[in-house]
Amino acid sequence: MTQKENELNTQTEGCSSHSGERYWGYVEVIEEGETYRISRIEIKPRHGIKPQIHYHRHEHWVVVSGVAKVICGEQEILLNRNQSTYVPAATLHKVENPGSIPLVILEIQNGEYLGEDDIERPLEFKSVP
């Protein structure tokens, strides 16, 4: 990660607004309600979202374009366009774009609490063997 990407990461990951640029790409909230949020996520080639876990929401990811490498709990899968996966609450997960074109995902979050303070980012993340 370059210094500029690191600075952008620091500036945006703690923002109260959910939409905006990240060092790995861009997030746009399409619709939001009290117990759900629908976002369009674009991840740059050979970038990814840091491992994270949250306890009060579940996520559904649908790949719109590109290829997603998803690690969810003990499972690692590759998803292509029109494929999807479910991320249960309290499950360590991350997504990466191993390809050479942008990865676009529609993310549906559902839960009783969607606050950013429910996200933990562990320092260590063991890869699936």
> What DSSP assignment string belongs to 104-119?
EEEEEEEES---GGGE
Is 85 strand, coil or helix?
Answer: strand
pLDDT band at 8 (very low <50, low <70, confident <90, very high): very low
Reported as a single tens digit per residue, the pLDDT across 46-65 is 999 999 999 999 999 999 99
Reported as a single tens digit per residue, the pLDDT across 77-125 is 999 999 999 999 999 999 999 999 999 999 999 999 998 888 898 866 5
> How many angstroms separate the Cα of 78 from the Cα of each of 17, 60, 67, 86?
30, 15, 7, 13
Full-model pTM = 0.79
Give the domain 3-117 fold.
Answer: Jelly Rolls (2.60.120)
In this structure, which amino acid lies at residue 36? Y
